[in-house]
């Protein structure tokens, strides 16, 4: 058995070890039929009776079953290994692989070191497992020594070893080292290229990843997915769509991985038509809709504002895993249907599906959006006392948000003070937002200063504190917050809204005139506002009277906010009775929320807006949130 002594790696190759003579064991068929340790032990006893207990070939078969098969026993393998006088490379490799499968990564490296000390020569099957062990065990110093050994032992031409080295350096975020290994490879393959693309993408170097992608002599679906997934994970959805269109033009077959990435891109932009097209293509192509892909489809429908179809997919699943339940409960919560989310949770319990931490995040979020205070308190208690799930930061954030919105500021503050960990900016930010809603300047100022120091580059934190001061006329403090922002170089995130029509995604920014039909759009805005003023709409001018406005730049008048432009474009381009679906990157301001209610009534349209926090369904002059948002 490997000891726990420090790893001292040999720097020069040992001579090749002598191998035992291969036994022509007539009992090998017996091992192939083994399905349990009971049968394996019978086979092992037969080997001992035949006098082959020291034979590497015969005993290696026993160790392989014990160390690698699902029915094996690693401890038994180690006992057998300890009894072998001179284990060969195959046996060492088998034990190393067994350690790796058992997540004993340090033991892999220690045993490799002992292998060299015992003058057993490694082969090309040794290094992939040792490299993976270094990678999984975060052993960066040892990994560099292993890299040196790969070269010293003459495996610099083995693609499998080198691909594992690239993966290892990517895992350690050493992209320059990964690139050096890649550049020195004589024969790269799809794995080499794709691993490097994934590495650049994972760390946010999308342009470098795209350069590698473009340099590929040939691409497979994994390469396309690595690049598309990189764009999606970095919220560069438009580039993901452009690459997907190019993929279609090049007749690359859609697989479930690319489909999942593109469904996530549709989710990010709220592109329902594109998402439905991909889903239809999945069904026509016969792609297996496993639990993970089904959850992605459900998530797409939920976040594109189409709960009915999300339920269709969910109800059509033969086997609903925890992720599917969580996704559906979370989707309902986003749409502000708190009671329905609770009902689905109760159904989940009846189906004997055990909830996890994510389930309760979604459930508490549903209670927060609908102001279900007693229910929220109940489920927070249930999570801890019945399911023994210790609350994490996200759970406390939901509770603080729920209590704060409802005006229970003291209880929310007390909950923060009693947290077993230091609150993060999300938790404190929820309380700061509640202080602004309820005008608690004293508590808001205290919390606001803490939040700004926790997230000094988040413009939204400064905006909230500044507007809290502005609400009570403390203009010197407003000016001080603005100066602090300027001194730190903090820029406010511009608001933008997205609408998809006929499969084409259009983006609008507040006051923007880049759209080719901007003249017609602004004319429609004027008409729209004129119509709703005639039935009682009065602009919420408080939203632009402060030195720093709530979400969008003061310079952009209320009637040029991005969602108004998107709604106007939707009215221009869709038939009467069609639903207008819009996604916005920031929270909807009070004026746009009020205007949208009037527009839905005057123009007899349902308008569905997904903002940063939740969905708003405007219909017949009302919003699904009942103005509780």
pLDDT by residue (tens digit) across 572-620?
A: 999 998 999 999 998 898 889 999 999 999 999 999 999 988 999 999 9
Radius of gyration (C-alpha) of the chain in whole angstroms: 31
pLDDT by residue (tens digit) across 88-99?
A: 999 999 999 999
| Domain 394-487, architecture per CATH | Alpha Horseshoe (1.25)
Specify the 3-state DSSP secondary structure of 557.
Answer: coil
Q: Give all strands of the β-sheet with 622-623 in edge-to-edge order.
A: 504-509, 496-501, 580-584, 607-610, 615-619, 622-623
CA distance 504 to 493: 24
C-beta of residue 112 within 8 angstroms of C-beta of residue 76: no
Residue 16: what pLDDT? 47
pLDDT by residue (tens digit) across 269-286?
A: 889 999 999 999 898 888
Of 433, 492, 429, 481, residue with least CA distance to 455: 429
- Rounded to the nearest integer, the mean pLDDT of the chain is 89
Residue 132: what pLDDT? 93
Q: Which of 11-25, 299-313, 396-410, 428-442 has the lowest mean pLDDT?
A: 11-25
CA distance 255 to 240: 16
Q: The pTM is what?
A: 0.81
CA distance 465 to 86: 72
Specify the 3-state DSSP secondary structure of 391.
Answer: coil
Average pLDDT over residues 371-395: 95
Residue 495's pLDDT band, with cuts at 50, 70 and 90, is: confident
Residue 557: what pLDDT? 62
C-beta of residue 181 within 8 angstroms of C-beta of residue 151: no
Of 137, 183, 191, 201, residue with least CA distance to 164: 191
Extents of the domains making up the chain: 338-390, 394-487, 496-623
Residue 539: what pLDDT? 84
Q: Which residue has the higher pLDDT, 319 or 96?
A: 96
C-beta of residue 328 within 8 angstroms of C-beta of residue 337: no
């Amino acid at each position: 058995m490997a000891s726990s002594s420090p790893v001292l790696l040999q720097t020069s190759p040992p001579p090749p070890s002598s191998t035992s003579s291969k036994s022509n064991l007539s009992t090998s068929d017996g091992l192939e039929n083994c399905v349990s340790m009971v049968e394996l032990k019978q086979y092992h006893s037969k080997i001992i009776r035949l006098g082959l207990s020291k034979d590497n070939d015969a005993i290696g078969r026993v160790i392989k079953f014990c160390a690698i098969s699902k029915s094996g026993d690693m401890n038994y393998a180690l006992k057998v290994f300890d009894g072998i006088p001179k284990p060969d490379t195959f046996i060492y490799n088998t034990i190393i692989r067994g350690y790796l499968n058992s997540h004993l990564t340090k033991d892999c490296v220690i045993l490799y070191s002992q292998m060299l000390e015992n003058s057993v020569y490694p082969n090309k099957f040794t290094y992939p497992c040792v490299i993976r062990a270094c990678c999984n065990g975060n052993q960066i110093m040892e990994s560099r020594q292993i890299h040196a050994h790969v070269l010293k032992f003459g495996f610099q031409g083995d693609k499998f070893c080198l691909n594992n080295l690239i993966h290892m350096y990517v895992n350690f975020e050493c992209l320059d080292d990964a690139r050096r290994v890649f550049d020195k490879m004589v024969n790269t393959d799809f794995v080499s290229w794709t691993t490097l693309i994934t590495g650049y993408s994972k760390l946010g170097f999308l342009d470098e990843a795209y350069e590698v992608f473009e340099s590929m002599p040939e691409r497979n679906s994994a390469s396309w997915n690595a690049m598309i997934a990189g764009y999606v994970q970095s919220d560069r959805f438009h580039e993901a769509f452009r690459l997907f269109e190019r993929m279609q033009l090049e007749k690359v077959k859609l697989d479930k991985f690319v489909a999942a990435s593109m469904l996530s891109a549709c989710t990010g932009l709220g592109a329902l038509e594109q998402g439905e097209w991909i889903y239809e293509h999945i069904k026509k192509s016969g792609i297996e809709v496993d639990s993970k892909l089904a959850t992605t489809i459900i998530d797409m429908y939920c976040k594109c504002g189409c709960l009915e179809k999300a339920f269709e997919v969910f109800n059509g699943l033969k086997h609903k895993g925890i992720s599917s339940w969580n996704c559906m409960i979370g989707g309902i919560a986003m749409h502000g249907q708190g009671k329905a989310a609770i009902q689905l949770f109760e159904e989940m319990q009846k189906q004997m599906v055990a909830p996890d931490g994510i389930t309760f995040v979604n459930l508490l979020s549903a209670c927060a959006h609908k102001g279900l205070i007693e229910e929220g308190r109940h489920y927070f208690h249930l999570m801890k006392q019945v399911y023994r799930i210790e609350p994490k930061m996200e759970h406390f954030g939901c509770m603080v948000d729920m209590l704060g919105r409802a005006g229970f500021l003291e209880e929310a503050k007390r909950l923060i003070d009693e947290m077993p960990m230091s609150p993060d900016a999300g938790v404190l930010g929820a309380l700061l937002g509640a202080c602004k809603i309820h005008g608690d300047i004293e508590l808001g100022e205290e919390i606001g200063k803490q939040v700004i120091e926790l997230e000094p580059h988040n413009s939204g934190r400064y905006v909230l504190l500044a507007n809290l001061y502005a609400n009570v006329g403390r203009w010197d403090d407003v000016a001080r917050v603005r100066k602090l922002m300027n001194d730190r170089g903090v820029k406010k995130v511009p608001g933008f809204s997205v609408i998809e029509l006929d499969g084409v995604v259009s983006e609008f920014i507040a006051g923007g005139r880049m759209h080719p039909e901007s003249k017609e759009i602004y004319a429609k805005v004027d008409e729209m506002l004129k119509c709703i003023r005639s039935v009682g709409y009065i602009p919420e001018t408080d939203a632009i009277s402060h030195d720093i406005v709530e979400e969008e730049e003061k310079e952009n008048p209320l009637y040029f906010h991005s969602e108004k432009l998107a709604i106007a474009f939707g009215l221009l381009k869709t038939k009467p009775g069609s639903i207008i679906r819009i996604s916005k990157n920031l929270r909807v301001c009070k004026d746009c929320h009020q205007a949208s209610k009037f527009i839905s009534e005057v123009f007899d349209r349902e308008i569905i807006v997904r903002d940063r926090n939740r969905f708003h369904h405007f219909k017949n002059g009302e919003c699904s949130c009942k103005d509780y948002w």
